């Protein structure tokens, strides 16, 4: 990834993906769609794993954004209040 793209990724992550969603505590599907759209438009490689909840654990999504071959950022989002592992 070019240095300018790395800077764009860091700006993107520091603004919308982490800041706004962290303030909410629980994320909505619309916000997940917004995050995906931003990453796709910026041509940033990522994985999104969604786990359905159980009686013990909350529904959650794990977003992994690949910055370089040796550096990635992983963020856990909850779709509902509750415990996550």
Q: Provide the pLDDT confidence category of residue 39 given band limits of 50, 70 and 90.
A: confident
Inter-residue contact 16 to 35 (CB < 8 Å): yes
How far is Cα of residue 39 from the mean position of the Cα atoms in its chain?
9
pLDDT score of 19 more than 70: no
What pTM did the predictor assign?
0.70
For residue 47, the model assigns a pLDDT of 95
SS3 of residue 45 by DSSP: coil
Inter-residue contact 79 to 25 (CB < 8 Å): no
pLDDT score of 82 more than 80: no
Domain boundaries, the chain: 3-78
High-pLDDT (> 70) share of the chain, %: 67
Express each pLDDT in 41-65 by its tens digit.
878 899 999 888 888 888 888 889 8
């Amino acid at each position: 990834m070019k240095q300018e793209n790395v800077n764009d990724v860091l700006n993107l992550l520091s603004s919308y993906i982490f800041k706004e969603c962290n303030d909410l505590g629980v994320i909505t599907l619309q916000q997940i769609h917004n995050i995906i759209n931003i990453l796709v438009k910026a041509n940033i490689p990522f994985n999104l794993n969604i786990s359905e909840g159980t009686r013990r654990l909350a529904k959650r999504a794990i977003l992994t954004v690949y910055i370089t071959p040796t550096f990635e950022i992983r963020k856990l989002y909850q779709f509902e209040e509750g415990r996550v592992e």
